[in-house]
Amino acid sequence: MVDLVGQYEKIQQEVDEAILNVIRSSAFINGPEVKAFQQELENYLSVKHVIPCANGTDALQIAMMALNLQPGDEVITADFTYVATAEVIALLKLRPVLVDVNPETFTIDPSAIEAAITSKTRAIVPVHLFGQCADMDAVMEIARKHNLHVIEDTAQAIGANYTQNNGRVCKAGTMGIIGCTSFFPSKNLGCFGDGGALFSNDDQLAARIRKIANHGQSVQYYHDEVGVNSRLDSIQAAILRIKLRHLDEYAAERRRVAGVYDRAFAGHPNIITPKVFSRSEHVYHQYTLIIKNADRNKLREYLLERDIPAMIYYPVPLHMQKAYLDERYHEGSFPVTEYLCSSVISLPVHTEMTGEIQGKITSAVLDFFKLPN
C-alpha cells in the first residue's frame, strides 16, 4: 500500500547521517533532536505546543487524562474509525458514545453528534479519516454550545489545511483543545518505528500533558499524579525532522496520484471516487473507493492475484466489534458505517507511485468490472 523503501532511498544519506549522529551522541531519550523536532512541528502547524509521545494511541489516552475525564463520562466519536480512538475511551472507563458518519466524506456526522449529547457528555473526538478533516466548524459550534472538549484525532491527516467559516486557514489538529497524531511508519509523516504527538494552544493544558506523559512528575522524582511513560525517542525525532521538511511535497504527490485514479474511474457505474470536503484539503492517507452493485471482496482478491495490494479500511464497524459490543447498539444502529464497511476498498497511494504501476492498478480495477457477472 505504501513504498517506504523507495521513500527512504531518496533521503537515505541525510537520514543515515542523522541516525548515526544520535548514536554517536548517545542522547537516546529526550535529546536535542526531540526538542528541535518539537519546535519545527510547532512552527509548521502554527500551534503553541507540540508534546511528542510514544504513539498515537498514547496521545489520545494522555489527552483524555489531561482533560480530567472521569469514569462514566461520555465521549462521542465516530463508529467508522480505527479502533484506537474508542479503545482509550474504554480503557479509561469512560463511556464511548458512537455516532454515524457522512456517507460522502466518511467523517463524523455533526447532526448525529447533537442527537447523542446527554448531561454526561464531556468530549467529542472527530477523526480526520483517510486524510481530510471532519466538518470542524460544525463540531466546534456544537462543542461551544454544550461546553464540551474537542480532541481531534489527526493520525491520518497531518498537514491538511482546513479553511474555517471565518476564512482562517489552519492545520488539522490545531482547532480543538487538543490534537493527537501518530508517526507510525505508514502514516503521512511516519518514523522508523512508533511515535506520536499531542498539539495544543493552551499553556496550562500543555504543561499538564507533559507531566502526565512523564510519570506525572514536573520535578524529577516528585510525582503529583498518576501518569504514564510515553516518549518519542531521539532517533525517531531525528528522522521525523528530515521527513517533516518533505511533508508538503509528499502530500502534493499523494494528491497527484489520487487525481489520476479520480480521472480513470470518473463516471464508472460501479465506482464512487472519494469526495473532497469543500473546507478541507485532502492529504489522501488512503484513497478509498465505494463499490456499488459488485462484490468488493472479489475485487480485492482479483487485485491480490495480480500482485496489486488493496485493503479494506475498515471491515467491521466499532459497534459490531466483539470487544465493544454494547446493549445500546445492534446491527442497523449506524447504517452509513455498516454500508461503508461492506462496500469500501482502498488502493495503494504513496509518494513513490510510477505511472506504469498506477496504470496497471487502474486497468486491473476496470478489467474486473468487465468480467461476466
Ligand X SMILES: *Cc1c(COP(=O)(O)O)cnc(C)c1O
Residue ranges binding ligand X (CB under 6 A): 55-57, 81-82, 84-85, 127, 153, 155-156, 182, 184, 194, 196
Crossing angle (nearest 10°) for helices 247-265 and 355-368: 30
Q: Rounded to the nearest whole angstrom, what is the least distance from the CB of residue 94 to ligand X in the complex? A: 16
Question: Which three-class secondary structure state does DSSP give residue 290?
Answer: strand
Cα 63 to Cα 179: distance, rounded to the nearest angstrom: 8
Q: Which is nearer to ligand X, 184 or 339 (CB)?
A: 184
Q: Rounded to the nearest whole angstrom, what is the least distance from the CB of residue 3 to ligand X in the complex? A: 19
Let me know if 27 is exposed, middle or buried by CB neighbors in 10 A (0-12, 13-18, 19+): middle
Q: Rounded to the nearest whole angstrom, what is the least distance from the CB of residue 120 to ligand X in the complex? A: 24
Q: Which is nearer to ligand X, 76 or 155 (CB)?
A: 155
Give the cell for residue 153: 484525532
Q: Locate cell 508534546: which residue? A: 51
Crossing angle (nearest 10°) for helices 234-244 and 32-45: 30
- Rg, C-alpha atoms of the chain: 21
Q: Rounded to the nearest whole angstrom, what is the least distance from the CB of residue 124 to ligand X in the complex? A: 15
Q: Which is nearer to ligand X, 97 or 180 (CB)?
A: 180
Q: Rounded to the nearest whole angstrom, what is the least distance from the CB of residue 232 to ligand X in the complex? A: 11
Q: Give the C-alpha distances (Å, rounded to integers) separating 367 from 265, 297, 360.
A: 12, 15, 10
**Residue whose beta carbon is closest to ligand X:** 56
Question: Which three-class secondary structure state does DSSP give residue 122?
Answer: strand
Q: Rounded to the nearest whole angstrom, what is the least distance from the CB of residue 267 to ligand X in the complex? A: 31
Contact 193, 185 (CB under 8 A): yes
Expressed in angstroms, the distance from the first to the final Cα of the chain is: 28
Q: Which is nearer to ligand X, 121 or 154 (CB)?
A: 154
- Spell out the long-range contacts of 365-371 with Cβ–Cβ below 8 A and sequence spacing 24 or more: 365/264, 365/265, 365/271, 365/299, 365/303, 366/264, 366/265, 366/268, 368/294, 368/298, 368/299, 368/302, 368/303, 369/268, 369/270, 369/271, 369/294
Q: Rounded to the nearest whole angstrom, what is the least distance from the CB of residue 75 to ligand X in the complex? A: 14
Cα 226 to Cα 221: distance, rounded to the nearest angstrom: 12
Count of other CB atoms within 10 angstroms of residue 292:
12
Q: Which is nearer to ligand X, 57 or 200 (CB)?
A: 57
Q: Which is nearer to ligand X, 52 or 227 (CB)?
A: 52
Q: Rounded to the nearest whole angstrom, what is the least distance from the CB of residue 183 to ligand X in the complex? A: 7
Q: Locate cell 494511541: which residue? A: 57
Contact 360, 261 (CB under 8 A): no
Q: Which is nearer to ligand X, 85 or 132 (CB)?
A: 85
Q: Which is nearer to ligand X, 194 or 281 (CB)?
A: 194
Contact 151, 64 (CB under 8 A): yes
Q: Rounded to the nearest whole angstrom, what is the least distance from the CB of residue 225 to ligand X in the complex? A: 23
Q: Which is nearer to ligand X, 129 or 364 (CB)?
A: 129
